Structure 1
């Protein structure tokens, strides 16, 4: 099969005690290309160590290697065994460099199961989703029509010409399992960057892709390089822990008089280490301008916040919502939809039929543009509780529709209900979580929404609950009504995040002992 691509992955670890917060990727790193093939398991076939690779002088469909070390080539014909790493990994942050001959094909399989395609896609059209370089290759089922499914094309064809070195940077999240071994969360490509361009964001994979080395799913697995589909060489394969979940900020936590523009906000988020931003549709004058600023800094637009009215005599949503879906095409961005009504009281099931009808229309449009919807529970709105969001999403039953857990609204509406049970009931439809500092006994927004370094609420315990439930998706910083200097607030919240989020790290043991700082 044809599918190969880059990788970035992590292993999250539970670090106890008073260990200082650290950047996992700086403490652990594992090189898989050394002076020989000793990091790869078993029979390595015709793979050989080389110093560099280039196109054959007489045949651009061949690669020739220069004697030396630092790279590996899959033999004289490009038809040899796959390489499987000796070490097993779960979550990883991966950097991989590769070079292909004309029309050649390879792939990088995370855990030996989930492929990012490597292919000569230079100036080529795609015959099917996932075959392109940087694509997430399709799954395969002989009993289905069509047999291939869940292939994901890269948002942009970032390929270089054959004979040029290219790179992948991937953050990969392994599937999660409960104590009984039942899968509770799918594998996820959190981010795939091809030659410096983000091509995938937050893509779930429900099972092994075609031609995987293994049919089952497990918490850990080997990295695999496909070796039998044509000439390919690799170098600089570095794996490190992926760290905690992606952490982004609401626009209300970023915008102030010092940061009024998309550029100023993007610059600040990038400098402070945030993964991106969410915006209110009615507060963003130009999605395209914002996306340009974010793309330049490899930041993501995680969500766009917009409203739906389910009353029979009201327009259900602004025409701008459809425009936003088109502007977000291919990005897998979340539409955060809050739902209001004057006809129905909060949480009333009498509004479900109308809500489902409206959402069905939006979900179909969003799916055509590779956009997702996450229902957004909000105090005093019709869709008020996480239970309401789960109920409506279950009735709608669309793969691109899920729910959001908002800490501040849960504390305002139903703090007596167990967050652990609510989160477990929301999985696997849980697409996003929002947090902030809060007082456990708070009753107004001043006490329920604070910077992350403040409040009496046990944030570390809450994040631990998320991790134990198998949640690997993005986490947002709510900033509504906090006031003060946005940069200072973001700085202190990021420092608190690094401390609290240690419980979201996975097992870093495969990466060896922590390096001294």
Structure 2
């Protein structure tokens, strides 16, 4: 089975600016992607959200998801956080929202369960909207954010046990935060796993967060072939995206490289699934 793929729109950012919404969609369609993605952040790109409803008709692409950042240290009723609820109530052309929870309080550190009650209170309110509108919230792990580890997302999913709440597995953030115990982590999150994003990466003090780089899939030390093998082993059949943050440069060229590399990984896994079975020691 060939996975359906999308590119996160971070791939279209560079030091000179951001490619237009229209150019992004046209490039993705021409390269051969199945879907596009939109980062709205704290609400900075609302105008582009209104364009999502016409993406399928205009470009022949699906919309994989939109990405938003929740910061409850600002207060539950802060306009940024209220804006996410408004988005859930008005979003058209997309049924998936990736939610990165940056903070739940000024004195609560990443992964601290002391923030669970605060996050759950907001999520319960958001999920009531999702029920009415058939929208899924996927918790997005992120280096240095309160939801930093996939175990944090899993803890909330288990507590809320809501059909509209799931998890995105973020290959880079798993690698940068820990990078170990992949089979156990994927096995644990499997019941809630709805999407995956991947990137090439290598440990480097000049990388993102002074920890690791984000690169096209044909670069780096992170073994995405083995990672993909583990995803197949747990039966994951959702959409897979490519991260692209901070890659910069010619987006078309790098997205083409990533897609070619990914399809070649699929080909090899189909023919030789045992190649992806790694041992911890030589």
TM-score higher than 0.5: yes
Within the alignment, does 1:319 sit opposite 2:82 as a pair?
Answer: yes
SS at match of 1:484: coil
Give the structure with higher Rg (CA).
1
* Separation of aligned partners in 1, 2:74 and 2:61: 39
1:442 positional shift? 4.2
Q: Is the 8 A contact 2:35 2:62 kept in 1?
A: yes
* Separation of aligned partners in 1, 2:74 and 2:26: 43
Q: Is the 8 A contact 1:310 1:351 kept in 2?
A: no
SS at match of 1:475: strand
Match of 2:277 in 1: none
Within the alignment, does 1:372 sit opposite 2:136 as a pair?
Answer: yes
SS at match of 1:387: helix
Show CA shifts across 1:345-377 (max 9, x none): 110000001111100110110121111000111
* Separation of aligned partners in 2, 1:496 and 1:246: 14
Q: Is the 8 A contact 1:248 1:475 kept in 2?
A: yes
Q: How does 1:96-495 map to 2 (within 5 A)?
A: 244-255=2-13, 260-281=19-40, 282-284=43-45, 285-311=47-73, 313-315=75-77, 317-329=80-92, 333-341=95-103, 342-415=106-179, 417-439=180-202, 441-442=203-204, 444-445=207-208, 447-495=212-260
Gaps of 5+ in 2: 272-282
1:479 positional shift? 0.8
Show CA shifts across 1:417-473 (max 9, x none): 31111011001101111101112x445328431011111222111101100011111
Change in 2 beyond 3 A, CA 1:371/1:314: closer
SS at match of 2:73: coil
Match of 1:71 in 2: none
* Separation of aligned partners in 2, 1:377 and 1:252: 16
* Separation of aligned partners in 1, 2:86 and 2:59: 24
Q: Is the 8 A contact 1:463 1:503 kept in 2?
A: no
Using the size of structure 1 for normalisation, the TM-score is 0.48
Gaps of 5+ in 1: 1-11, 13-243, 507-517
Using the size of structure 2 for normalisation, the TM-score is 0.85
1:293 positional shift? 3.4
